[in-house]
Amino acid sequence: MKILDILSPTQVFSNVECNSKKAAMELLAKNIASSNNGIDQIDVIDCLIARERLGSTGLGNGIAIPHGRLKYCEKSVAAFIQLKNGIDYGAIDSIPVDLIFALIVPEESTDEHLQILAILAKMLSETETINKLRNSKTEKEIFSILTN
């Protein structure tokens, strides 16, 4: 599994103005649902929020990976937003989050879900990658960083 398999250039957004975790979740859900993957925006929001209730997906260092498994999802799909300013996300280190990678996978795809999360966690723990993502000015640039 590669990030390129689940993320398209149209699902990457840079320099987004967002003032809350809820607004970020809604934006991510809208973009994931628009991928024509057989899923509804409300279902995506509910899925992401249900996962957040178990514990924040704010990893620390300004990064969050909201994720979940969804019954009517046909294939794994993702969206990424680079926020103009960090938001309170309830991260483990209390640092405002400005890089958010959301992931929705089919309900039965437990192994794939864990594999993708491991890839993301590794990639988003690399200081050089994080700095590149934060300093990127375009969606194309961000997409390239995430998929190479």
One-character DSSP codes across 66-99 = -EEEETT--S-EEEEEEEEEEE----TT-PPEEE
Degrees, nearest 5: CA angle 140-144-148: 170
Q: Which of 34, 12, 4, 3 is nearest to 100 (CA)?
A: 12
Enumerate residues 6+ apart whose C-beta is below 8 A from 50: 68
Q: Which residue, chain included where needed, has tokens 């046909």?
A: 74
113 in catalytic set: no
Report the distance separating Cα 67 and Cα 101, nearest Å: 8
Q: Which residue, chain included where needed, has tokens 């966690």?
A: 121
Residue of 67, 70, 89, 99 with catalytic role: 67
Catalytic residues: 67
